[in-house]
């Protein structure tokens, strides 16, 4: 029980030290296992993580200032699956990861 309490305190400190705008990505910040909402006895632990392949979502002017070239904004979906250690209820959490690619000469 003591571990759970210190875990919660850590989460609150983390949330208060970052700006609200960075929470926009689905609020998917989970620093430690949380208690199962169904049975209230087990912990939700991560069982698997799935990453989709990258796909293009848009273009921006080249960030290295190469004239007449655009960089591609790529995104992939990351799905994290959690399972309760007691009742084995499954739960998944999806968020995005984005990167800018210089896929031009
Ligand atoms: Zn570029
Ligand atoms: Zn449970």
Task: Kindly tell me if the per-residue pLDDT of 78 is higher than 60.
Answer: yes
Q: Tell me which ligand sits closest to the C-alpha of residue 61.
A: 1
- Give 75 Cα–ligand 1 centroid separation in angstroms: 17
- Give 11 Cα–ligand 2 centroid separation in angstroms: 21
Angle (nearest 5°) at CA 85 between 37 and 41: 45
Q: Tell me which ligand sits closest to the C-alpha of residue 102.
A: 1
Q: Tell me which ligand sits closest to the C-alpha of residue 84.
A: 2
Over range 18-30, report the average pLDDT. Answer: 42
**What would the two tokens of residue 101 be?**
């690619």
Over range 76-82, report the average pLDDT. Answer: 96
**pLDDT number for residue 103:** 87
Domain count for the chain, please give it. Answer: 1
pLDDT band at 3 (very low <50, low <70, confident <90, very high): low
Domain range enclosing 48: 2-101
pLDDT band at 21 (very low <50, low <70, confident <90, very high): very low
């Amino acid at each position: 029980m003591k571990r759970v309490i210190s875990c919660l305190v850590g989460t609150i400190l983390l949330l208060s030290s970052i700006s609200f705008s960075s929470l926009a990505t689905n609020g998917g910040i989970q620093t430690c296992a949380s208690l199962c909402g169904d049975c209230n006895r087990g912990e939700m632990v991560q069982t698997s993580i799935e990453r989709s392949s990258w796909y293009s979502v848009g273009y921006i002017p080249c960030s290295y200032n190469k004239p007449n070239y655009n960089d591609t904004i790529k995104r992939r979906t990351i799905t994290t699956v959690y399972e309760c250690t007691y009742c084995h209820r499954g739960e998944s959490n999806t968020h995005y990861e984005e990167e800018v690619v210089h896929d031009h000469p």
